[in-house]
């Protein structure tokens, strides 16, 4: 799975369901920062907690809303296979790097995996501003 070079861009794991699909785990990946010091979009994942809302904006489609149900840090080589499933209840898996950071070993040694379940979108007249 390739993570986009630009820390302001999230990547989608194209071998799995897209965000908003009726089943399986839609996986988005992104950076928390870059080698130049730029902060990434997924830095915000460090602050999300169970119950927080996540909105995925899709090109050519309505946004898809989710509620965070879990967050866990795992060693880089131990991403849970359940994050990449193609069937079962729909979920969103957001994956980014996590401390510890060891430049001699190539950077971050862990991944943060945030899992969120879909929630009903509000009617257009009742949406809160972000």
Average pLDDT of the residues in 119-125: 62
Mean pLDDT, to the nearest integer, of 44-66? 93
Is the pLDDT score of 103 beyond 70? yes
Residue 126 three-state SS: helix
Here the tokens at position 34 are: 């870059």
Quickly count: other Cβ atoms within 10 Å of residue 129's Cβ. Answer: 3
67-77 residue pLDDT tens: 999 999 999 98
Q: Does the structure show a pLDDT above 80 at 124?
A: no
pLDDT at 125 over 70: no
Q: Tokens for 42?
A: 């997924």
Task: Kindly indicate the confidence band of residue 122, based on its pLDDT and cuts at 50, 70 and 90.
Answer: low
CATH of 11-116, one of 3.40.50.920, 3.40.50.2020, 2.40.260.10, 1.10.540.10: 2.40.260.10
Domain ranges of the chain: 11-116
Give the integer Cα–Cα distance in Å for 41 and 125: 28
The answer on pLDDT for 7 being more than 50 is: yes
């Amino acid at each position: 799975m390739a993570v986009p070079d630009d820390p302001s861009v999230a990547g989608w794991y194209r071998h799995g369901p897209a965000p908003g699909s009726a089943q399986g785990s839609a996986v988005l990946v992104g950076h928390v920062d870059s080698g130049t010091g730029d902060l990434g979009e997924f830095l915000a994942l460090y602050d999300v907690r169970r119950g927080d809302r996540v909105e995925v904006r899709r090109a050519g489609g309505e946004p898809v809303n989710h509620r965070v149900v879990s967050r866990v840090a795992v060693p880089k080589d131990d991403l849970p296979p359940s994050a990449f499933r193609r069937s079962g209840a729909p979920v969103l898996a957001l994956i980014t790097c996590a401390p510890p950071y060891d430049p001699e070993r190539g950077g971050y040694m862990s991944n943060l995996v945030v899992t969120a379940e879909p929630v009903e979108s509000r009617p257009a007249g009742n949406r809160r501003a972000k």
